[in-house]
Amino acid sequence: ILTSPEKLEVAPPSPGQLRHVFFHNALPFVGFGFLDNAIMIAAGTQIELSIGVVLGISTMAGAALGNLVSDLAGLGLAGYVEALASRLGLSIPDLTPKQADMWQTRLSAHLGKAIGVTIGCILGMFPLLFFGDEEEKLEEKN
């Protein structure tokens, strides 16, 4: 007669482990958000002021093309952002496979990514500080 093995209960991750998961996921996404927004704003503005003027495309079309440039740059820069984040010394959280798949861990990871990319996108808005003059000059010409 075979008896079924007892199912071992795995303890959920501790608050410290969940914080580690949060920061491990947030840090690279700060970099992604920063680069994405900064490149999109810079590229979109330059596209609007150059190609946009010649072809007569709208501001939103310039923004969409800037987003395309930013997305393509993000594909190429993703490995560098991850390498930089790992160089900052944030090790992989020490979790069992079952703990890594628990809802608390997944929620902590998703919150880290969401908050990280939000912070990065806000920081990546810095090019807006430099583009006010070009838009005013363009309006004066029209």
Q: What pTM was computed for the model?
A: 0.78
What is the average pLDDT across 63-72?
94
Q: Is the pLDDT of residue 3 over 80?
A: no
Answer whether residue 36 is part of any domain. Answer: yes
Q: How many residues does the chain have?
A: 142
Please say whether the beta carbons of 51 and 61 come within 8 A. Answer: no
Lowest mean pLDDT among 3-17, 22-36, 37-51: 3-17
Question: How far apart (Å, rounded) are the C-alpha atoms in residues 32 and 28?
Answer: 6
Q: What pLDDT, on the 0 to 100 scale, is given for residue 88?
A: 83
Answer whether residue 92 is part of any domain. Answer: yes
- End-to-end alpha carbon distance in the chain: 90
Answer whether residue 16 is part of any domain. Answer: no
Angle at 46 between CA 62 and CA 42, to 5 degrees: 95
> What pLDDT band is residue 123 in, cutting at 50, 70 and 90?
very high
Q: To which residue do tokens 């590229």 refer?
A: 43
Lowest mean pLDDT among 112-116, 118-122, 129-133: 129-133
Answer whether residue 99 is part of any domain. Answer: yes
Please say whether the beta carbons of 70 and 43 come within 8 A. Answer: yes
Number of folded domains that form the chain? 1
Per-residue DSSP letter, 128: G
Q: Which residue range(s) make up the domain with 100?
A: 27-140
> pLDDT tens-digit profile of 98-113?
999 999 999 999 999 9
Answer whether residue 58 is part of any domain. Answer: yes
